[in-house]
Chain A
Amino acid sequence: AQTVTQSQPEMSVQEAETVTLSCTYDTSENNYYLFWYKQPPSRQMILVIRQEAYKQQNATENRFSVNFQKAAKSFSLKISDSQLGDTAMYFCAFPPNTGNQFYFGTGTSLTVIP
């Protein structure tokens, strides 16, 4: 079974500080892709970052980076220099090779405190 687990329902961080959101997944596949999406109060789902499992290098997009540990099946999102606009729900997503959908975790609600 393909599952995605986010074990932190809520987190908070001071503005300008760094925060890490965790995600683990379960799969028997070797090559796959992982995604982080952000859902601000507007409820729009916005792509934050994407990681390809066969790449050793962790993906980075400006202040967002991942810590991808394939053996541990862990895919954490690090947000540096947190900004008030980062306040949102963050979902980890995994599209298995079988099927066509993304499996989403239950989300982490992040609040950036001024």
Chain B
Amino acid sequence: NAGVMQNPRHLVRRRGQEARLRCSPMKGHSHVYWYRQLPEEGLKFMVYLQKENIIDESGMPKERFSAEFPKEGPSILRIQQVVRGDSAAYFCASSPSGGRADTQYFGPGTRLTVL
């Protein structure tokens, strides 16, 4: 059973460009979470999605960031007009039912570097 997959693993963008990060959840999982990890810090929640729905985006910056999880295909975290402060590791996790008892299984992360 393949784990959570994220691509690309490394992404370099210049200031002002767009970054698109992809996440394919584990087979059978329909709940996806995005987290951001700044250097020397723990993971911070950004957004929680189910298929075609954003359930909780309380951790998402109000501007430039958006996320989707379409009926077909991976979940996408999109960052428009990137700035240096967006440089971080972005992790996706998935769970089978979204309940608080669920273990969240993490992907390998995408390391975004903004030049």
Contacts and interface: CB of A to CB of B under 8 A. Distances in A.
Contact of A50 (B35, B48, B103, B108): B103
A43 B43 CA distance: 12
A104 interface: yes
Interface residues of B, number: 26
Given A43-B89, A47-B105, A100-B56, A95 B42 contact: no
Contacts of B43: 45, 91, 102, 104
Kindly list the 4 A-B residue pairs having the minimum CB-CB distance in the complex, ordered from nearest. A101-B45, A45-B106, A104-B42, A100-B48
Contacts of A42: 108
Contacts, number: 61
A95 B100 contact: yes
B5 to A, nearest CB: 12
A99 B43 CA distance: 16
A101 B48 CA distance: 7
Interface stretch (A30-38, A59-67, A68-76, A80-88): A30-38
B41 interface: yes
Interface of B: 33, 35, 41-45, 48, 55-56, 58-59, 89, 91, 93, 98, 100-101, 103-109, 111
Interface of A: 4, 32-33, 35, 37, 42-47, 50, 52, 91, 95-97, 99-107
Contacts of A103: 45
Contact of B42 (A33, A43, A47, A91): A91
